[in-house]
Amino acid sequence: MKLIEANIMARGLMNKYGLHNWGLRWMAETAFIGQTNYAEKVIYLSSPWTVLNPARRMKQIVLHEIAHALTGPTAKHGRLWINKCKELGAGHQEFITTKGTGWNSPYDI
């Protein structure tokens, strides 16, 4: 997915779910595809991973991170967070694979 398209999609979803006061930032990190920083109120997305994944998967990743933002740091990947994922239409077990990329990830499936 192109970064500009991902940025528009992610910001639109963040606004849709009330995260108007949250930021969206890009990172060069490849250990994570997305990360929620509660202290900074920022959702980070990996630019290297974004360009390797289709829009449908990136939407799931963004919804995954939005669910984290909405449920708070203590929810982690527990029941509250899972229920929020379901409410948002996010697959709470959305993972990516690094197979064939030359990168290693603990999330390989």
The arithmetic mean of pLDDT across residues 22-27, rounded, is 98
Distances from the Cα of 18 to the Cα of 61, 67, 70, 87, 105, angstroms: 17, 11, 9, 14, 31
Q: For position 32, what pLDDT does the model report?
A: 87
Q: For position 93, what pLDDT does the model report?
A: 61
Greater pLDDT, 7 or 91: 7
Query: What is the 3-class SS of the chain, one letter each residue?
Result: CCHHHHHHHHHHHHHHCCCCCCEEEEECCCCCCEEEECCCCEEEEEHHHHHHCCHHHHHHHHHHHHHHHHHCCCCCCCHHHHHHHHHHCCCCCCCCCCCCCCCCCCCCC
Of 39, 46, 42, residue with least CA distance to 6: 46
Q: For position 107, what pLDDT does the model report?
A: 44
Domains of the chain by residue range = 3-88
Report, in angstroms and rounded to the nearest whole number, the Rg of the chain calculated over CA atoms.
Answer: 13
Q: Which residues pair with 37 in a beta bridge?
A: 42
CATH of 3-88, one of 3.30.450.40, 3.30.2010.10, 3.30.50.10, 1.10.150.650: 3.30.2010.10
Q: For position 39, what pLDDT does the model report?
A: 98
pLDDT digits (tens, 9 = 90+) for 53-106: 999 999 999 999 999 999 999 999 899 999 999 999 987 664 444 455 554 444
